Structure 1
Amino acid sequence: MALFALSWTALRKAVADLSDEDFARPSGCRGWLVRDLVCHLVLDAQDVLITLVTPAETEPTVDATSYWRLVDPPTGDDPLDALIPRLAAAYGDPALLKFHLDDIGSAAGRAAEFADRTDLVSTRGEVLTVNDYLAAYVLEWTLHHLDLTAHLPSSVDPPALMPARLALERIAGVPLPASMSDKDALLVGTGRRAATDQEKAALGDLAARLPLVLG
């Protein structure tokens, strides 16, 4: 819960600190501007709110690690991915998008704070504890924090880089090279940037499995 709150608060602050011009910059998500990514975060916050009030009565089917599935890299054909830029553009004024994220994002943060971490909730056809659900989102918030600031002239790194790296390694089932920083491990591991020749050598056979795309 502490890591969820820490990473989510830092990400929302990073959005609040954006200038209007920053919203038109590219993000670390291929094909999306910063404004598109912020719009996606609004939907993520909605998902948190919905999931936390969707109780389940069966035993857990996934945990914080198995919640994420490794999928093929996106092709650009996903209807939701195509919808996001149109929805983001409809806001017009970046201040409106900022306000919406702050409004619903704050609510999602409060809902997470007050939730019983042992409760079972249902999402995406799976059942897991609130604690595991919130833990899974630490990786989501951290990766999107990196995406948000990928092309900004100055930025602060997200606060949960190491926990996010460990989560990615658990999902992959293998450790990433110790010679790589947590930030580089996340960026290279998820295909947000290409590995250098030195990193490819350190990755060894794992290089052929990259990128690790989560779905």
Structure 2
Amino acid sequence: MTDPHTSGTTPPRVAEAHQVFVLRETYGTLAAVAASLDEEESWLPTGCTGWAVRDLLFHCLADAQRALVALHTPASAPPDRDAVTYWRDWAPDPVGAANGRRWTRVSASMFLDFRQLRGLYLETAAATVTAAAAADPARPVSTQGHVLTAGDLITTLAVEAAVHHLDLVRELPGAPGPAAVGLAAVRETLDGLLGRPVPVDWSDEHYARAATGRAPLTREERRALGADAGRLPLFC
């Protein structure tokens, strides 16, 4: 019998616990920033085109609500996506992005008091982490027209939260950045989409920005990436 402490692979239960840990840390740091925001700060711009802080927070609320539904929606079909291939559907789409921005802005504007939106986001994010911890990570679940294991879904949630954390704090210089484990999950996802470790000496934060279209590539970066430069952004 192989000793998991001496083998070269991570024991399944350890990997599954880590997925929840990453989500808890990533959601927790994002929630801490959200909890500190006031009405005036909610109108500051973010790294998402056309969205103020309150619009982005509404989007994060919607993602947490989607997660709650997904974690309680067992699928009868086998997974057709994993934590990396899930993102292949999220390619640049100018028309779809414009419609999504408009819908989010209109929906977020229905909260006349930012404290109501902030409170709903905080309680929903906390509930999502609780549901993730209770889920069977191997169970197939449905979301966005695809089937993933609950464990892979949890990883995608952490990746999205880490990237949007960077968006949220763009005009909040005193706010802490995303959890390190969340940014590490973003790097792993981007490397998976790229098909190799990125051949540029980027920090996790800059990699997350550059490979999702949030930071333009320099001439030197394009040279180092070669043909792969034309594949960026890897997801939006």
Q: Which amino acid aligns with 2:116?
A: L
Which whole-Å CA distance do the structure 1 matches of 2:46 and 2:191 have between them? 24
Give the unaligned 5+ runs of structure 2: 1-19
Q: Which moved more, 1:111-120 or 1:44-53?
A: 111-120
- Deviating beyond 6 angstroms after TM superposition, the runs of 4 or more aligned structure 1 residues are none
Q: Which amino acid aligns with 1:61?
A: D
Match of 2:213? 191
Q: Which moved more, 1:170-179 or 1:100-109?
A: 170-179
Residue 182 (structure 1) shift? 1.1
Match of 2:16? none
| C-alpha distance 161-72 of structure 1, shift in aligned 2 (>3 A) | closer
Which whole-Å CA distance do the structure 1 matches of 2:127 and 2:81 have between them? 25
Match of 1:106? 126
Q: Which moved more, 1:141-150 or 1:11-20?
A: 11-20
Match of 2:22? 3
Whether 2:48 is the aligned partner of 1:29: answer yes
Q: Return the TM-score normalized by structure 2.
A: 0.84
Counterpart of 2:141 in 1: which secondary structure? Answer: strand
8 Å Cα contact 2:135-2:150 kept in structure 1: yes
Residue 38 (structure 1) shift? 0.2
Give the unaligned 5+ runs of structure 1: none
Q: Return the TM-score normalized by structure 1.
A: 0.92
Structure 1 residues 122-156: Cα deviation after superposition (integer angstroms, max 9, x where no partner): 12222221111101222111101111111212222
1:151 to 150, 171, 185: 171
How many residues are paired up? 214
Structure 1 residues 145-181: Cα deviation after superposition (integer angstroms, max 9, x where no partner): 1111112122222112122111111022232234111
Output the aligned Cα RMSD.
1.7
8 Å Cα contact 1:76-1:82 kept in structure 2: no
